[in-house]
Amino acid sequence: MNVFILHQSDLQVRVWKKILKSQGIAVYTLNFDQDLKQQLLSEEITNKRSPDALLIDKTLPNLDPAEFCDWLSSRSQSVPVILIDEQVHKSNPIARQSVKQAGVFDLVPQFASETIAIDAITASKCITSALNTPLIKENLSSCIVEIQQEFRASASSDFDDQGSAQGSSFLNSITKSSHTRRNTQSADIDNTETSDSPPKQKKTQKKSTRKYRGRDY
């Protein structure tokens, strides 16, 4: 079984890969910034590979679910399409019903750290149902543990990046403040020397007197 996935989030793709591999399903990633139909044709011609199911980001630019499903049907390919919603926890029931009427197999929410265990089970049931294969629960249990670690590592990386940026900003502010204080102190010293220096006294010349024979002139 081959599943092609197209999503703009690397984290979402990594999680889907873990889930699919835990069920013995081969997964191949498509490029988000390239035409979907052309990529499918290229995979079929170049790699002799066609999908048994498609996982597609619902926010894909210019994606018309109904038109795309009609295109797949016109090529005599009965390929279930699962859209990955931008919503988390639970997709809107109305939106879900709408895409199903357009020919999409189902609409699933994207993975979220706080509900990842439930999300992984929901996703696994959806994809195995689309492929008509049994769910391997034992493999899924260990897979969920790995996924939780994946989310924790991702959150830690984001926190470290933010902390590094804040630390650099803090150091820059300290450096600027230090320079400002030094410049201020230098200016104060110059002003002090100017204002506190005693005024220069003019030299007074003593009136010279000459004495001649006991008389002063």
> What's the average model confidence in pLDDT over 87-106?
92
pLDDT digits (tens, 9 = 90+) for 3-45: 999 999 999 999 999 999 999 999 999 998 889 999 999 999 9
The whole-angstrom separation of Cα 215 and Cα 150 is: 115
| Beta bridge partner(s), residue 215 | 212
Residue with tokens 């502010």: 173
pLDDT at 157 over 80: no
pLDDT digits (tens, 9 = 90+) for 44-70: 999 889 999 999 999 988 889 999 999
- What are the boundaries of each domain within the chain? 2-156
Tokens of 93: 């029931």
Torsion angles phi and psi, residue 146, rounded to 5: -65, -40
The residue with greater pLDDT, 114 or 157, is 114
Give the CATH superfamily of 2-156: Response regulator (3.40.50.2300)
What percent of the chain has a predicted confidence (pLDDT) above 90?
57
Of 45, 60, 86, the residue nearest 5 (C-alpha): 60
pTM above 0.95, yes or no: no
